[in-house]
Amino acid sequence: MESKLFGTRLYVSLSKLAHNVNFLKSYCNISSIIAMVKANAYGHGDIFIAEKLQNLGVSSFGVADFDEGLRLRNHGIEGSIMVMNPGVYNLQIILENNLQPVIYNDEILSMLTQLIQNEKLPKILFKDTIYIHIKINTGMNRWGFDVSNLPKVISKLEKLKRVKIKSIYSHLSSAGNVKDDLFTQNQINQFENVCEVLQTTLPYSVNYHIFNSSAFLRQFEFKKPHSIRSGILLYGCINNKNLHAIAELRCAISDIRLVNPGDTIGYQRSYIVKKKMKIGVLPFGYADGLQRHWGNGKLNFLYNDKLLPTIGDISMDSCIIDLSELENVSIGDDVLYFGEKRSIWDLAKELNTIPYEITATLSRRIKRIYF
C-alpha cells in the first residue's frame, strides 16, 4: 500500500538486474565489468543499483562528474569510481575523496601535475597509490588524447610520484549501427595496437576497455582479455532476448472528467474537443521526464491492452490522456508508460528516440520501488 502514496512509480527488479549481470559475466573474454551508474544509474536510482551491483561482485563504477562520485562515496559505495568528465577546478576534490579521474587532455594532465608537485593534496593521499584513467580518441572525437600524443602523456605520468594508471580506454561511436561496422572494427583495431605498445612500455599491467553494451552484444572481436563499460545492457533497455528489462513505470489516474465539443484542453488551448470525451489527468509531466512536444497523440499510455493517446500539451507536472474508449476506469487506476507489457524499446521507436533518453531523464521525484 505504501507505493500507492505516490502517483508515479518506477518499479525496479533487482533479480532481473542480477540476471543481466550474470549474463555479462558468462562471456569468457571479459575480465571485469565497469558498471555505468552515471545519470542516476540511467534513471534507475544510483545508490540502490550500485549497492546491488556491489553485492553481485561488481567493484568498478563509472560516473560522469565529481558530484555523482561523491554521492556514491557518501552512501558507502567502496569500489573504484571512475569520474569520466573531470574539470581542472574539481580535480583536487576528486582525488581527495578517493575517486579516480579520467585524464583526457593536456589541461587536466597539467593540473594533476601541479597538484602533486606543489603538494596541494593532503599528504595522507601519498601514503597510497593515486589511480587515474587515460582516455584516448580513436574516432569519436569527443574527449581523449590522440593516439600520437600518448607516448608524451605516459612519459609525463611516469614522473609523478605514486600516480598509477588504472586503465586506458577509448569510446566506440556507433557500435550498434551495422552500416558503421568497418569503422567500429577499425576503432577496435587501433585501440588494440595501443594496448600492444603499452604492454611493453609500462612497468606494470593496466586494464583496457573500449567495448560498450552494443559492441559486446554484437560480438565484435577483441583478442585480449578486457573490461566492458556497461550501462544500458545492465538495465535491459536494449532489444535482446538474453536480457531482462529491469524497470516498469506506472502512473495513477488522478482525475477524470467529461468534456464537450468546443472545449479546449491544456495550455495554449492546443487541443479542441470535437465530440464528447472522457479524459484523465496523470501526475506525470515534463519535470518528470516527458517532453513537452509529446502531447496531442505523440505519446500513448497503455491500459488493459489499449493505447491511450495524450491530448493537449504536456504540462510541467501532468499530462492528459483520452479515456473515451474505456468503460470501466476509475481514479487511482494505473496506466503503463513502459514495462513488461510494453517494452521501452518499442516505446522509444514510437517516440523517435532511444531508451537511454527515456530513462535517464526520469526525475528523482519519481518514487523508485525496488523488489
- pLDDT tens track for 225-258: 688 999 999 999 998 999 999 999 999 999 999 9
- Domain edges within the chain: 14-235, 247-370
156-166 average pLDDT score: 90
pTM to 2 decimal places = 0.92
Tell me the CATH class for 247-370.
mainly beta
Write down the pLDDT at residue 124: 62
Q: Can you tell me the distance from the alpha carbon of 16 to that of 340, in angstroms, rounded to the nearest whole number?
A: 12
Cell 562528474 sits at which residue?
A: 65
Tell me: the pLDDT tens digits for 302-325?
999 999 999 999 999 999 999 999
The chain-wide mean pLDDT, for the chain, equals: 93
User: Looking at residue 85, what DSSP letter applies?
Assistant: S
Percent of the chain past pLDDT 90, that is, above it, reads 81
Q: Which residues are within 8 A (CB) of 207 and not within 5 positions of it... i.e. 6 or more apart?
A: 31, 32, 166, 167, 168, 226, 227
The better pLDDT of the pair 371, 118 is held by 371
Q: Can you tell me the distance from the alpha carbon of 97 to that of 72, in angstroms, rounded to the nearest whole number?
A: 11
| CATH number for region 14-235 | 3.20.20.10
Percent of the chain past pLDDT 70, that is, above it, reads 96
Residue 129 has pLDDT above 90, yes or no: no
Write down the pLDDT at residue 1: 47
